[in-house]
Every structure is written in C-alpha cells, then in structure tokens.
Amino acid sequence: MVRKWAFNAVFAYLLFGVLMYAYLFYLADASVPHSLKGTSVDPSTFMNHRELMLSEEYSKIKNLLFFLSSPYEWLFYFLVLIFGVSRTFEKWAEKTSRFHIIRSAVYLFWLSLASFIVTFPLSYLSHSVSKAYHISTQNFHSWMKDELIDFWVNFALMFIVVTVLYALMKKFKKRWWLAAWILSIPFTIFMMFLQPVVIDPLYNDFYPLKDKQLETKILEMAAKADIPAKHVYEVNMSEKTNSLNAYVTGIGSNSRIVLWDTTLEKLSDKEILFIMAHEMGHYVEKHIYFGIAGYLLLSLVGLWITAKWMEKCMARKNELKVKGISNLSSLPLFFLLTSILLFAASPLTNWVSRYEETRADRYAMEMTHDSASAVKTFQDLTRTGLSEVDPPWLVKIFRYGHPTMRERIERADSSK
C-alpha cells in the first residue's frame, strides 16, 4: 500500500510538471495583442532583441520552477509521513528528554534539516538560473550564507509556533485551532514590529539614504501626505541582484520606507519619486493594517479547515504512521495541509494585493502628476527584471501580487 501511494504521488507530480511545462512553453501566449504593437506597452519599443529573447526564456523557466516548488514540498511531506520518517524523528526526540519543549526542538531540527536537504537542489537551480540570466549577482558563498540564515531564522520561529501549537493540541482536543488563532494575533503584530529592525538586517545592511537632496524631496512628499517619516532607508542589494525594488515594511514607530541601491543607481530622480509616492500610497490607504486584518481572517478559516481535515486524515493514521493529531509526528501533515490551503488561497490574496497596488499607483500619479515618469518606471522595471509585460493567465493569478506591466502602463498612459 505504501509503495503504491508513493508511486502514485510521484507519478502525479511528474505528470503535473509535464502539463505545466507544456502550458508555459507551448500553449500560453505572453505576447501583447496586435492592437498594442508599437505602443508604450509593447516591450519591443523599450527592449532590444536580446533582452526580449532573454525575457521570454527567463520568465518561462522561473514560472515553471514556481509551479513545481509547492507540489514538490507537498510530495516531500507526504512521503515523510507514509514511510514513517516523521515517526522516526519523533522517536529520536522522545529519547532525548521527557520535556515537551526539548522534544519539539529535536524533532523540528531533524524535519527542518531533511526539508532543507531535499529542497536544496530546486533552490540552487532557481539561484543558478537567476545568475545565468544576470538577474542575480550573488556568488555561491553569499547565497549559501543567506540560505543558512533562512534555515536558522525559520527554525527559531517555527520552534516557538510548533511548541505552542502542540501544547494547545494536547490541552484543547477539539478547539486547538481557535486557541492557536487567538495567540497568533499578538504574535503576528509582534513579528511586524520585529521584522524591519531584527530580521531584515541579518541579510543586508540598512542605512539612511545617502543622497540628501533626494531624501529631502521624498520627505517633502511625505509631509504633504501627512506621513511622519524622518528617514528613507537604503539597502545594499547590488551585491545580490540587478533587479529594482522599493517597499514599506513594519508598523508604527518601526515602519520603514526602503529603497534598493540598484533602484537609486538605475532610475532617474523623477522615477524614484514616483516609486516613493507609490509606497506612500500604501501608507496613506493603510494597506499594511488591511493586510494584517486579511491575514488574520484567512488564518482563522485556514486553521479551522486544517483541523477538520486533520481529523478526517486520522481515519488513516496507521498508513500515515501517526498516532494522533497531538503527536509531533503529525507535523508534516499539518504543514502539508496548510501549504495546500495557502496555494489554493493565493489567487484571492494576489487579487487583493493587485487591487491595493493599483490604488497605490493611482495615488502616485495623482501626487506626482507625472504619468510619463510612471510609464518609464514600469518599462525600466520590466527590462531590468526580464519580466513579462502580459503574462499567461495562470501565472498572473498564482504569482502576481502586482498588476501586470501591461495594465500598469496602460493606466499611466490613460491618465496623461
């Protein structure tokens, strides 16, 4: 039975991979409509022939890797369950101590290490592709350092979550999901405070914007928008990538507006001001707070569905090599189900994100009154990131938290 389940799971994954390859490389059309040829939306008007070719190749490969990664994770967790690997890790943990907190740490370490090793080839392939197409500038040593930081940061956070979660499962047999959700509220808010000042600096160096004239212009815009900003932060991303980006992170006194140094190097002041106005639009329209509220709502629904799903799976607990929901060996099942739910919910969360990004774009154009710079910014972002202007439908709904460049450029053009 176990071999049959394993064979079917691997076959299903390989079949899915073949179908996605056929869709992305042969069936999907990412070219702009003929009616838009020669307009500002047409990538051939702002990218040369080599850039167009590389963009098409790179986008297809990265999209395929994206669609292969989540099911690969599901396959890993499923095989860990049915082959009894999770139960073996639990036995190792039980031998180390009688204390639940130490058992959780030992079990989670072995599961995290196994996950890291199994998913490493896919992660390295993604990095290699980005390096080959000159999106990533990061050498292997630097990339591996980030991977190890990721491992230990995720381990530390998951140790807290798993220890509390399984303590709740033992205490509240039927309502553990509700107790877990209630405790997740202060934890989520705490992490929003912690992220910009503790976690992000582990990966990169942040410092106040060096160009003080540009910072003055940005702060003047912030003052007009009633944003209590005192600094704009710059981060040294050029050591790792050629891509451009800027973002807002954190809440309250820990909130930050951050510019990548690649953005400062490759865009004009007008384009940078448009990007900053866009980020200010997120702040003014309180998208961070709506995002937290939406995340907590989805978490409530997701935990409830996961709890019900896990109960049904316990009907086959012998095949899954799990004694019960509150046993640590059920953790891969929890991860499997929550990962599937997150993937299934991504079209909805991406749609909400695209709506908020559209609002921020509109706010930026109203603030700057510079649609020409908006168009140029979107074109430069497309070229430097080797992005698709009009991606295939499945790619858009599952990958895009921003509107497509076609949509953004068309809106900017129409506001002139």
**pLDDT digits 0-9 by tens, 5-63:** 899 999 999 999 999 999 999 999 888 888 889 999 999 999 999 999 999 999 999 99
pTM recorded for the entire structure: 0.91
Known binding-site residues equal: 278, 282, 357
What pLDDT, on the 0 to 100 scale, is given for residue 255? 67
**pLDDT digits 0-9 by tens, 76-110:** 999 999 999 999 999 999 999 889 899 999 999 99
**pLDDT digits 0-9 by tens, 167-224:** 999 999 889 999 999 999 999 888 888 888 788 888 988 888 888 899 888 888 888 8
Report how far residue 284's alpha carbon sits from residue 393's, in angstroms, rounded to the nearest whole number: 31
What pLDDT, on the 0 to 100 scale, is given for residue 206? 87
**pLDDT digits 0-9 by tens, 231-271:** 788 999 999 999 988 877 766 666 677 899 999 999 999 99
Contact 375, 398 (CB under 8 A): no
What pLDDT, on the 0 to 100 scale, is given for residue 28? 92
**pLDDT digits 0-9 by tens, 286-325:** 888 898 899 999 999 999 999 999 999 988 877 888 988 9
**Mean pLDDT, the chain, as a whole number?**
92
DSSP 300-363: HHHHHHHHHHHHHHGGGTTTTT-S-TTSGGGHHHHHHHHHHHHHHHHHHHHHHHHHHHHHHHHH
Rg (CA), the chain: 23
Sheet bearing 233-235, strands edge to edge: 206-208, 233-235, 256-260, 246-249
Contact 324, 314 (CB under 8 A): yes
Among all residues, which ones are annotated catalytic?
Answer: 279, 361
Known binding-site residues for Zn(2+) equal: 278, 282, 357
- Where do we find the tokens 């540009």? 214
Please give the single-letter amino acid code of residue 162: V
Tell me the C-alpha to C-alpha distance, in Å, between residue 305 and each of 46, 168, 312, 351: 47, 17, 11, 22
Residue 411 predicted with pLDDT over 90: yes
Report how far residue 204's alpha carbon sits from residue 101's, in angstroms, rounded to the nearest whole number: 32
